[in-house]
Amino acid sequence: MKVEQLYTGCLAEAAYYIESEGEAAVIDPLRETEPYIELAKRDNARIKYVFETHFHADFVSGHLDLAKKTGATIVYGPNAKPNFDAYVAKDGEEFKIGKVTIVALHTPGHTLESTTWLLKDEQGKPYAIFTGDTLFLGDVGRPDLAVTSNITQRDLAGMLYDSLRNKIMPLPDDVIVYPGHGAGSACGKKMSKDTWGYLGDQKKTNYALRPELTREQFIEEVLEGLVEPPAYFPKNAMLNKMGYDSIDEVRKRGMTPLSVRAFKAAWAEEKAVVIDARHEDEFARGYAPGSIFIGLHDNFAPWAGTLIPDLSKPILLITPKGKEEEAVTRLARVGHDNIIGYLEGGFEAWKAAGEPVETLDEIEPEAFAKMYEPGKVNLLDVRRISEYNAQHIEGAVNFPLDFIYKNLHQLDAGKKYYVHCAGGYRSVIACSIMKSEGIKDVVNIRGGFNALKEFDLPMTDYVEQNTEL
């Protein structure tokens, strides 16, 4: 038996490959199919099943393409109603892969169809659970994504409590927990940076598994600190449920090289969003006016989904050389399939053609610290509200990047704004959006809050937060 975790840091997402005696299964695959097909080829194995823990909201799964290319059966748990050919398992139903067994444990709460897949080894002993967004290391899944007119988030939280107590906690302590996400995902609040652990350790350390926790206490604690999920979440969940274009077609469209002239024409005619995916330092030194920065080297796809929730919006790309396909693939992971091309030759071609170039004003943290006076400088802290509440510079206004388009109307285009995040990535995104929306007098503080803490600035006292959202 082989169990391999394929962890993708940009999405803080884990997919899994299981093989026994020439048969294999994949759990919660990302949209690109190559990694799983290559693993099966390496093992001379046939992918028999694609198991889904639920209809994912934070990424588009690869179940359809993988099943089409390998002949595998897509399997969901109870209550799932996919709009394509798939098998819906019963609670407790078993599936054989070589000499091992996978059992469906219906664990509703995060969503109604959420299912934990229990892996039993060759001797029939519980070996591991693939929990999706039901149980994380240090946390549990948020119960507010599947709310309907008849089901509230409190109802879902109560279901999650029952699922954990009745289906997962009775399992042996030495069972390995393989979660769907790790720290950095918006699907939970207090996730560990570890990507796997033992159930016994979770019973001791996970706040949501405390044995004395009543159902009502659990509901209150799980719901505390939740903020509105990214706007693209329900759209990704619908794509996963209803179906989507093959990633091969998405890549083919997106990998269209465009001359500067053709790029400009497409930008104007298609009313496209232009994403500049270079490093923030390169962007600040010069960029195409009206483009927005989302650097490929960081959480590129989640920010693209969050800031461009209209998945039908045409997108044009300016990328580092050789990174065009990576950018297209990562955008497709969050459902951005309408990528219509990239600037051939990158930003250097734009400059060489004599096109207009803007720069982003920046200030070093030490220089800012020397000139800052609360109340006399417009300082925007674009970190999440939990980061701001933990500690911030006195006089700074919290202006979370997550909701920047909703709040832009609060800004005055005639004023000057200094902007910071934690380290400098998000603040450059924010500055680029502000400038593209007509707020031109914007200054990015290099190094962000992490750098500013080293200088003598008036700060609030640090307060531990119970959420990363």
Where in the chain are the domains? 2-235, 245-352, 361-452
- Say if CB 182 and CB 161 are below 8 A apart: no
pLDDT digits (tens, 9 = 90+) for 178-229: 999 998 887 767 788 899 999 999 999 999 999 999 999 999 999 998 888 9
- Say if CB 383 and CB 426 are below 8 A apart: yes
245-352 and 361-452 in the same fold: yes
* Dihedral sign from CA coordinates of 52, 57, 62, 68: positive
Q: Which two tokens stand for residue 414?
A: 């005639």
Q: Is the pLDDT of residue 33 over 60?
A: yes
pLDDT digits (tens, 9 = 90+) for 121-148: 999 999 999 999 999 999 999 999 999 8
Nearest to 430 by CA among 385, 380, 390, 391: 380
Nearest to 329 by CA among 60, 37, 38: 60
Q: Is the pLDDT of residue 25 over 70?
A: yes
Is 245-352 a domain of CATH 3.40.250.10?
yes
- Say if CB 142 and CB 188 are below 8 A apart: yes
CATH number of 2-235: 3.60.15.10
Q: Is the pLDDT of residue 260 over 70?
A: yes
Burial zone of 228 (CB within 10 Å; 0-12 exposed, 13-18 middle, 19+ buried) = exposed
Residue 225: what pLDDT? 84
CATH architecture of 361-452: 3-Layer(aba) Sandwich (3.40)
Tell me what the mean pLDDT of segment 316-329 comes to: 97
**Three-state DSSP class for residue 101:** strand
Residue 466: what pLDDT? 60
pTM over 0.85: yes
Task: List C-alpha distances in Å: 152 to 107, 146, 149.
Answer: 17, 8, 7
Rounded (5°) CA angle 294-390-304: 15
Residue 192: what pLDDT? 85
